[in-house]
């Protein structure tokens, strides 16, 4: 599929897709005319990349992580090195702290909303 179709199917801009390719996160074949031609599995790859970015990982870490993740086609994956695994544990712990902070913020908002409803 061409870059425009991949962008439409994933909701990711063409510019971002080019960036992913530049960072080694996504690969495309080239047509005789020089256009990018992505396989169907690129849709799942882009969605996974977006999820990892949303979790706060940067492109270098995502590039290290992607080969260790099983693709939708069930293809083989590499084994994470102990260093990468330790870094991912640290990332998970960071995300857990962010979740706890968000839950606390939501609880404060709930308290304010409840107080406003009682007073209103």
For residues 67-84, average pLDDT: 72
Please write the tens of the pLDDT for every residue from 36-72: 999 999 999 999 999 999 988 999 999 988 888 866 5
Domain spans of the chain, in order of start:
1-78, 80-120
Q: What is the mean pLDDT of the chain?
A: 89
**What's the pTM value of the predicted model, to 2 decimals?**
0.74
Whether the pLDDT of residue 108 is over 90: the answer is yes
Whether the pLDDT of residue 118 is over 90: the answer is no
For residues 90-100, average pLDDT: 93
Class of domain 1-78: mainly alpha
Place of tokens 């995502």: 62
What per-residue confidence (pLDDT) applies to 51? Answer: 93
Q: Are 49 and 25 in contact (CB under 8 A)?
A: yes
């Amino acid at each position: 599929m061409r870059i425009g179709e991949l962008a439409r199917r994933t909701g990711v801009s063409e510019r971002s897709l080019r960036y992913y390719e530049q960072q080694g996160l996504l690969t495309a074949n080239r047509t005789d005319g020089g256009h990018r031609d992505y396989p169907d599995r690129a849709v799942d790859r882009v969605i996974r990349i977006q999820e990892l970015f949303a979790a706060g990982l940067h492109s270098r870490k995502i590039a290290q992580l992607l080969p260790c993740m099983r693709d939708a086609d069930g293809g083989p994956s590499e084994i994470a090195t102990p260093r990468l695994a330790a870094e991912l544990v640290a990332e998970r712990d960071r995300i857990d702290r962010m979740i706890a902070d968000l839950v606390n913020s939501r609880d404060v908002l709930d308290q304010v909303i409840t107080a406003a409803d009682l007073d209103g």
